[in-house]
Amino acid sequence: MFDVVVVGYNSFIESSPAVIAAASSPLVANIFYCDNSEDRNVAQKNADFALEKLLYIDMGGNKGLSHAYNRAVAMRESAHVVIFDDDTEVTNTYFTQVDDWISTHGPADIFVPIVRADGQPFSPCRPWLFSFRPIRKVRDWNSDFSAINSGMVAASSVFERCSYDERLFVDFIDHQFILDARQAGMRIVPMDGIYLDQRYSLVSDDRRAATIRLGIFRHDSAVYYRTPAGRLARMVRLGIRTIRIWMAK
């Protein structure tokens, strides 16, 4: 059985594909919806929304992803926890596919799907120059890969040794979690043949939203990039994102 964690921000539970898919799957025991909404009208409507298996958690405003994830996984009851963004395109067959994949390929601590953005592979990925580069071929997967959080499946025992770094607000939370888990000796495997489609914010943001995201990136990247090479990568990425925003129409 799976517990599902979804974090929302100024969006309605009833419009979350991840929540609806999880609610209709017999393999899902609990859905923990952490609401980071700053719009209290949205939060109130979400609090009033009734759905079997759903536990609503009001974060009292936007506390960031890491705090929300940690609060939700602390309440886990099932053997595995699945993490989703609230707008990840997922159907209830995802849980059957994952369950079959785990049964067929044997145990591991963390399983990650192949995530696509705009139809192109996006995760798993690996550090490359000043960013992360998608891994497009199975033969290229090795022990240094990273992955984004959405669709990730973690054994419940993982959270006894690892948690999300609460110094990070949004960016690099997933990559830092993968690093921490690997350093703790956990086995992390990509699930070849299992796909999710993600509405990635850097692709879909308008200029105002992208500017806000840049400010968050500036903070989180200072936490994540701590080596001299990392600090150089941070400055390059900040520069590129700033230029893109100002060149946008």
For 175-226, how does the pLDDT look when each residue is reduced to its tens digit (9 = 90+)?
Answer: 999 999 999 999 999 998 899 988 755 444 567 777 888 888 888 988 988 8
Q: What is residue 146's DSSP assignment?
A: B
Sign, Cα dihedral of 129, 134, 135, 136: negative
- Give the number of C-alpha atoms closer than 13 A to the C-alpha of residue 222, restricted to the C-beta side: 7
What are 116's strand-pairing partners? 121, 197
Residue that finishes a domain, picked among 199, 217, 239? 199
Here the CATH number for the domain that contains residue 137 is 3.90.550.60
User: Are residues 217 and 176 both part of a single domain?
Assistant: no
User: Are residues 121 and 241 both part of a single domain?
Assistant: no
User: Are residues 95 and 59 both part of a single domain?
Assistant: yes
Distance, in Å, from the CA atom of 76 to the CA atom of 92, rounded to the nearest integer, reads: 20
246: CB partners within 8 A, 6+ apart: none
User: Are residues 55 and 20 both part of a single domain?
Assistant: yes
What domain range is 233 assigned to?
Answer: 205-247
Give how many domains the chain has, as a whole number. 2
Residue with tokens 């921000």: 9
Distance, in Å, from the CA atom of 31 to the CA atom of 18, rounded to the nearest integer, reads: 10
Distance, in Å, from the CA atom of 88 to the CA atom of 212, rounded to the nearest integer, reads: 21
Distance, in Å, from the CA atom of 156 to the CA atom of 5, rounded to the nearest integer, reads: 12
Per-residue model confidence as pLDDT tens for the chain (249 residues): 999 999 999 999 999 999 999 999 999 999 999 999 999 999 999 999 988 899 999 999 999 999 999 999 999 999 999 999 887 889 889 999 999 999 999 789 999 999 988 888 889 998 876 678 888 776 666 667 899 999 999 999 999 999 999 999 999 999 999 999 999 999 999 998 899 988 755 444 567 777 888 888 888 988 988 888 788 888 888 888 888 777 765
Distance, in Å, from the CA atom of 123 to the CA atom of 132, rounded to the nearest integer, reads: 9
Q: Are 82 and 95 in contact (CB under 8 A)?
A: yes
User: Are residues 149 and 57 both part of a single domain?
Assistant: yes
Single pTM value for the model: 0.89
User: Are residues 226 and 191 both part of a single domain?
Assistant: no
User: Are residues 128 and 112 both part of a single domain?
Assistant: yes
Distance, in Å, from the CA atom of 64 to the CA atom of 84, rounded to the nearest integer, reads: 15
User: Are residues 142 and 30 both part of a single domain?
Assistant: yes
User: Are residues 219 and 134 both part of a single domain?
Assistant: no
User: Are residues 103 and 74 both part of a single domain?
Assistant: yes
Please name which of 114, 94, 126, 86 lies closest in space to residue 197, comparing C-alpha atoms.
114
Distance, in Å, from the CA atom of 83 to the CA atom of 202, rounded to the nearest integer, reads: 20
User: Are residues 211 and 94 both part of a single domain?
Assistant: no
User: Are residues 194 and 72 both part of a single domain?
Assistant: yes
